Amino acid sequence: MNNFKPYFAVIFTSKHTNNISGYTEMANKMEQLAKLQKGFLGMESARNEVGITVSYWESLEAIRHWKINTEHMLAQKLGKEKWYSWYNVKICKVEREYEFKS
Amino acid sequence: MNNFKPYFAVIFTSKHTNNISGYTEMANKMEQLAKLQKGFLGMESARNEVGITVSYWESLEAIRHWKINTEHMLAQKLGKEKWYSWYNVKICKVEREYEFKS
């Protein structure tokens, strides 16, 4: 823990509408675009009844830049208009971490 | 944002082994048990290639108590021995949050 450098996580949870045409293509495009952003560290996603995407960033500034990225803003707009009935975004500071491998 | 009271999130990401017999029953049992813990605020899960479970807590102390809960420790032991080939746990402070409803 001594050398742990805090970083940031965005927990994005969502529920889809019944109309998800175009969603998968956009989600893939946004994932590729996020990876190109300065300060991007990683991303993990899973979806059953609820979708959970967690992305990891070096700083709050990197998160702010990604939030207002022009293409990402268009995706957010379409998300609200078409694909999501609900979503929640949590900005978090990762303070500790541990891992297991068998 | 003015009245936002920070709380804590545990991001648990995992990959299963090929032997998940007994896993679902234990996961359900642990979810029920977590809900009874002091300081528990909520939990969300989804699993595709990777499983993501995020649980929310009032304090780091509540997270510590849950981590060392006797029944939970037994579940963690079985998880390492049988169900998980890998997992990662991140302890986070939720600093900001916003929501959309259509």
> Which pLDDT tens digit goes with each residue over A26-75?
999 999 999 999 999 999 999 999 999 999 999 999 999 999 999 999 99
**B positions 43-82 inside 8 Å of A (CB):** 44-52, 54, 80
Residue type, B91: I
CA distances from B79 to A47, B54, B98, B100 (A): 22, 17, 34, 35
Flag whether pLDDT at A1 surpasses 80: no
Q: What is the dihedral of CA B15, A63, B43, B69, to 10 degrees?
A: 70
B84 within 8 A of B14, measured Cβ to Cβ: yes
Cβ pair B10, B62 in contact under 8 A: no
Whether the pLDDT of residue A93 is over 70: the answer is yes
Q: What is the pLDDT of residue A101?
A: 95
What mean pLDDT value characterizes chain A?
96
What does the alpha-carbon distance between residue B72 and residue B62 come to, in Å, rounded to a whole number? 13
Mean pLDDT per segment of 10 residues, for chain B of length 102 residues?
A: 86 97 97 98 97 98 97 97 98 97 92
Q: Does A5 touch chain B (CB under 8 A)?
A: no
The whole-angstrom distance between B89's CA and the closest CA on chain A is 5
Q: Residue for token digits 């969603």?
A: A23
Q: Is B25 on the interface with A (CB under 8 A)?
A: no
Q: Residue A32: which of A47, A20, A43, A48 has the closest Cα?
A: A43
CA-based nearest residue to B96, from B22, B4, B12? B4
Show residues of chain B in contact with A13, CB under 8 Å: 44, 54
pLDDT at B3: 79
- Confidence at residue B2, expressed as pLDDT on a 0 to 100 scale: 60
Contact between chains at A44 and B17 (C-beta distance less than 8 A): no
Residues of A in contact with B92 (CB under 8 A): 9, 92-95
A66-85 average pLDDT score: 97
Which domains, and CATH codes, for chain B? 7-94 (3.30.70.100)
Q: Do the chains contact at B9 and A90, CB–CB below 8 Å?
A: yes
By the CB < 8 Å criterion, does B91 face chain A? yes
Instruction: Give the model's pLDDT for residue A2.
Output: 61
Q: Taking CB atoms and an 8 Å limit, are B97 and A89 in contact across chains?
A: yes
Task: Please give the residue that has the higher pLDDT: either A59 or A4.
Answer: A59
